[in-house]
Amino acid sequence: MSHRQNIYLGLALSVGVCSSIALLLYIRHRRKLYSSRRDQQYTDINSSSDNNDVDSKSIRFQSDGATIAVDIPGGCIPLTAEQAFVLTQFLDTTNNDTERLHRILTNIANSATFTESQVNLANAGCIGRLRDILSATNNETTKNKILLAMNNLALNDYTITFFSDIVTIVINLCRTAPLNSLLRLNGLNLLINMSVLEYLHDEFMKNIDDLDLIVKSAFENSDETLSVGKILVNLSTNKTNLEYLLKLKSIDLKTIVILCTPTKSSMKNEESSKLEDILLRYITFYCNLADTIVNELQARTANSISSASWLMNPKPFPQGTLYFELFDHDKQMLSKSILRSQYSLNTINTQIKRLRHGMDTIRQIQFDSSVLSVHDEFNDDDTETRINDFSTPKKFPEETSTVFVGDSNFDQSYQDISKEINDEFEDDDTILASGPSISSFCSANSTNATNNFASPDKSISN
C-alpha cells in the first residue's frame, strides 16, 4: 500500500471517529433537554445520573421553592445522612401519587439492607413516617412495600428502638388480612424481626389475645405456621412473658406433633424437612417455657418466697390454656407419651429429650411442694396447740398446770382422767408423724427412687 493510500485511510478513520463523537454529544444533549422538562419536584428514582457512577440514582427534592439535586444510591452502597433525610422527606411530597410512593418505598427497602443506611434512615424519622402511612393507607401494595422496608430496618439493635407502637398495628394487620396472603406473611416476618430483641416484648404481651388468634389461624398454612413458631420462640426467651404465654389457648402439643410428624412414605423430602423445621420451633418453645418454670420454682423454693406462687395456682388460668399442659399431671403424661425421638433431625430429638426432662422436673417439684405443705401443716399444729391432745399415745406429765373454772373439784377430776388415759395407752406402739417420718415418706415414695428422673436419658427411655 502506497504512502498516499495510508493518508486517505487515516483521514477516513478520523472522520468516522469525529462523527461518532458528535452523534454521542447530540444524544446526550437531547436527553438533558427532555429531562429538564419533567417535574422539578421529583424525577424517576431509576433514572441514571450522568455525572456519577452507574450504581447511583439521581433524584431531585424541592425545598423552599428551590430544586436541590441529590444522588440517591439504588441499594448498592449505603445512604449518607443527607440522602436518608431526602428519601424521608420524599414520603411527604408524593401528593397522593401512589406510583411515586411505591418507587420511594422500593428505594428505602433496598437501601435499608446496609447497617449505615438503617441508622441514618431511623435518625431521619423514616420509621415513624412509614408507621403513619401504614396506619392510614388501604392500598395492599403500599402496605406490602412498607412491610418490606420495615423488615430491613428492623434488623438493627439501634433502629428497633424507633419501632414503638408498630407491633400493635402489624398484629391487627395480620389478624385481619386474608389467610395465606402475601400481606399476612410479610407482616408475620416483621413480627419475627421485632421479637428478636426484648425491647418490644411488652407490646406483644399487650396484644396477646390477638396474637393467640393469629397462632390458631396460622396452622392452615405451613409458611405461616413456621413464622408463628419463630415468633413464639423469640418471646419465650424472656421470662417476664411466661405468665402471658401460659394463657395461650390455641396451642396443643398433641396437635402440633401429629400435624408436623411425617407419616407418609411417599412424602417429598422437602416437605418432610419443612414439617420437621416447624416442629423444631414449637418443641423449642415448650422447652423454653419449661426451663423458665423450673428456674422460677427452684428460686421460689430456695428463697422461701411466694413471688412465683401463681405458678402452683391454676385459678387464674381457664381450662384449655397452655398452663395445664405443663402443670396438669394427666396432660404431662399425655405429652410424654407422644414425645418420641423418632425424627431424622437430631436437633428435634435433643429438644424432645430436654422437654421430657423439664416436665419430669416440674412434676417432681410439684410432689416435693405438696409433701412440704403437709409437713408445714403438722408443724403449724404443734406450735399452735395449747391444750394437750388426749388422742395421742403420749403420756401426760406427772405435774400439769391446774385450770380453775370455778369448781373446787375440777383439779382432782382432771388428774383422774389423765391417769386413766395414760394407763389405756401404756402398751401402744403407734408411731406419730414427725419430721423424720415425713422425710422417710419422701424417700420411700420419691420418683427419684425409681430412677425416673435421674437423668434425661433415662426419662426418654420410659
The string of DSSP codes covering 203-265 is HHHHTHHHHHHHHHHHTTSHHHHHHHHHHHHHHHT-GGGHHHHTT--S--HHHHHHHHS---T
In a domain, 90, yes or no: no
- The last residue of a domain, from among 385, 408, 440: 385
**Domain count across the chain:** 2
Examine the domain organization and report whether 292 and 367 are in the same domain. Answer: yes
Q: Which residues contact 174 (CB under 8 A, 6 or more apart)?
A: 184, 187, 188, 191, 214
Query: Which of 332, 367, 385 is a domain's end point?
Result: 385
The set of cell numbers assigned to 233 is 420462640
> Do 252 and 374 share a domain, yes or no?
yes
Residue 180, in any domain of the structure: no
Model pTM? 0.68
320 and 376 share one domain: yes
**pLDDT at position 192, please?**
96
The C-alpha atoms of residue 302 and residue 323 are separated, in whole angstroms, by: 23
Residue in this structure with the C-alpha cell 388460668, named with its chain if needed: 317
| CA 205 – CA 330 distance, rounded (Å) | 28
- Contact residues for 265 (Cβ-Cβ < 8 A; gap 6+): none
Please name the residues in contact with 271: beta carbons below 8 A apart, sequence gap of 6 or more. 262
Same domain? 304 vs 365: yes
Return the pLDDT at 272.
83
Are the CB atoms for 373 and 386 separated by under 8 Å?
A: no
Same domain flag for 272 and 381: yes
443 plus 374 within the same structural domain = no
Q: Where are the alpha helices (DSSP H) in 309-345?
A: 322-327, 329-338
Indicate if 377 and 257 belong to the same structural domain.
yes
- What does the DSSP 8-state code read for residue 406? S
187 within domain boundaries:
no
CA distance 306 to 286: 24
The parts of the chain modelled with pLDDT lower than 70 are 1-6, 8-9, 15, 17, 22-71, 74-75, 263-268, 301-309, 312-315, 372-462
Query: Within a domain: residue 1?
Result: no
- 263 and 346 share a domain? yes
8 A C-beta contact, residue 267 and residue 335: no
- DSSP three-state, residue 48: strand
CA distance 235 to 327: 20
Quote the domain boundaries for residue 359. 247-385
Percentage of the chain surpassing pLDDT 90?
42
The answer on 415 and 299 residing in a single domain is no
> Of 358, 385, 412, which closes a domain?
385
Q: Are residues 252 and 278 in the same domain?
A: yes
Q: Are residues 407 and 443 in the same domain?
A: yes
